[in-house]
Structure 1
Amino acid sequence: MSRYEAQFSTVVNYIEKHLEEDLDIDQLCQVSHFSKYHFHRQCSAFFGMSVMALVKALRLKRAAYQLAYRDSRVVDIALANGYDSHEAFSRAFKKLFHKSPTDFRHSPDWTPWHTHYEPILTLRTKLVRENANFDVQIVDFPETRLAALEHRGAPQELGNTIRQFIEWRKANRLPPSKSRTFNLIYNDPNTVTAEDYRFDVACAIAQPLEENTCGIAYKVIPAGRCAVIRHIGSDDAIGVAVNYLYSEWLPQSDFEVRDFPIFFERVKFFPEVPENEMVTDIYLPVRWGDHVVDTL
């Protein structure tokens, strides 16, 4: 990544860490080492939007996550994202998402957001692809029992499945602080049709799963060896780490994959932490290749 692109990455990271504060051009120029005489035009050319529109888009993304997945009042979400009033926040939110905050909370639709967010996704993906130094560790993962909600269908609708699962966790007193959070990843959304996309949202359970009408299924991550990468940052670029495991690390290793899908453990979540501080452990189930003698 060029120095120029790295400067814009610094801008995005700084904004995300200070979404609740009053941000101005002088601050952003200082942290990114851009000249204030050219920053407006540079930002508009790079992101396709002004710097303050970028600030607004990032604030509204966090607000949308808080609306969809958290119980905070709308007015509290507004204040936490730099808005002085419920009314100002509602106007800005509806302009971007084409729904009021309350309507979005009841029926989230992320499609309008992706149109505005594409330049940031592209930047993050390029940053990870060109600069990440992936540290692959081999671990013995213990058998882990799960309560899982299966998502089957378009990736764009995954948010609704996540929201349903969060509600079930709350009702069953299984918050992330007490129960580890996992995703089972069955296929690549870029290579399958929407109707064939499969993704499980899950949490670890110690007790047998009771019968329920919420679609929660009992599943098990089997004990076995895994290659693991710790991904720090937004999910925007997590596919780069996954592809590295399959396309570069695996062919050069003495391992082959086991008969279980790749899975994630969510360690730190957005919106509780800024996107660039998210922590996700990526596990690829493996075993020694047939030509290798296991001496461990």
Structure 2
Amino acid sequence: MSNYQDRFEKVISHIEANLDADLDIDTLCKLAHLSKYHFHRQCSAFMGMSVIKLVRLLRLKRAAYQLAYRDHERVLDIALANGYESHEAFSRVFKKHFDKSPSEFRKAANWTPWHEKYEPILMLRKNIMDNGTKFNVDIKAFPETLIAVMEHRGAPNLLGASLQKFIEWRKLSHLPPSKSKTFNLVYDDPNVTAPEDYRLDIACSVDKPVAANDYGIVNKVIPAGRCAVVRHIGSDDSIGVIVSFLYTQWLPKAMVEVRDFPIYFERVSFFPDVPENEMITDIYLPIE
């Protein structure tokens, strides 16, 4: 990783970790080892957007996640926590980006407008991960695990609705993440799969089979067996880079065969409960 890239990765991590605070330009300049005369221009050149726009988009993303997946939080509290002085100011900006008011989005989240505006940040994260980031691969034996599953079938940008439904069932079933491990079973690569054919399971561990229910939750099992494991700390935006690394670089050199089970993620810590740069996801590739 170049020294220049390393500087701006530190800037982005600092911004992610301090979204609640008034960001100090002097601190950002020190992290980038740049004077204030050059900082903004070079940030814009490296990130593809100004620092102000980056902060605004990251705060809006967190606000959207809080609205969609944390229904106990009031809209006003979410607005204030993300730097807006009033419900009205937050609503104006939010509707401009999501084509819905915060309350409308909470009832029926639509992420399509957001993905279009968020594309520069997505590309930035991928480029950082692509350029020299090293991944440590461990081999672990995973125990057989009974899981309750919400099967998402359809475009990735509709995943939010499935996730909301799963969270609702999980709360009613008294299975919080503190007591029940959280998993995603990933059957398809969204980059090469038609949106309508995309498949992903949202799941949590359970002690006994799930009874028939109105949510569409079904029983499945993660089988016991060896896995190649990478711990990813940071945003989901760059997780595809690690999956690609496992398949295209690690697997051919390791001289092992994959088992007949999809790659899966264990969600150890969640956004927006923790900042994006502190999210922990263990990525499991089942191998013989």
- TM-score normalised per structure 2: 0.95
String of CA shifts for 1:52-76, please: whole Å, max 9, x gaps: 1221111111000111111211111
Over 3 Å counting, the alpha-carbon distance change for 1:111 and 1:133 in structure 2 is same
Report 1:1-296 matches (<5 A). Answer: 1-71=1-71, 72-287=73-288
Q: How far, CA to CA, are the matches of 1:140 and 1:129 in structure 2?
A: 28
SS of structure 2 residue aligned to 1:31: helix
Over 3 Å counting, the alpha-carbon distance change for 1:45 and 1:126 in structure 2 is closer
Q: How far, CA to CA, are the matches of 2:109 and 2:125 in structure 1?
A: 24
Q: How far, CA to CA, are the matches of 1:247 and 1:27 in structure 2?
A: 39
Amino acid at match of 2:51: V
SS of structure 2 residue aligned to 1:75: helix
Which 5+ residue runs of structure 1 have no aligned equivalent? 288-296
1:5 and 1:123 in contact (8 A); partners too: no
Q: How far, CA to CA, are the matches of 2:113 and 2:26 in structure 1?
A: 30
Judge which range, 104-113 or 31-40, deviates more. 31-40
The CA deviation at 1:285 is 0.9
Identity %: 64
The CA deviation at 1:130 is 2.3
Q: How far, CA to CA, are the matches of 1:48 and 1:132 in structure 2?
A: 20
Amino acid at match of 1:124: R
The CA deviation at 1:45 is 3.4
Q: How far, CA to CA, are the matches of 2:44 and 2:263 in structure 1?
A: 39
Q: How far, CA to CA, are the matches of 2:23 and 2:3 in structure 1?
A: 23
- TM-score normalised per structure 1: 0.92
Judge which range, 113-122 or 132-141, deviates more. 113-122
2:47 and 2:124 in contact (8 A); partners too: no
The CA deviation at 1:100 is 0.8
Which 5+ residue runs of structure 2 have no aligned equivalent? none
Number of positions where the alignment pairs a residue of Structure 1 with one of Structure 2: 287
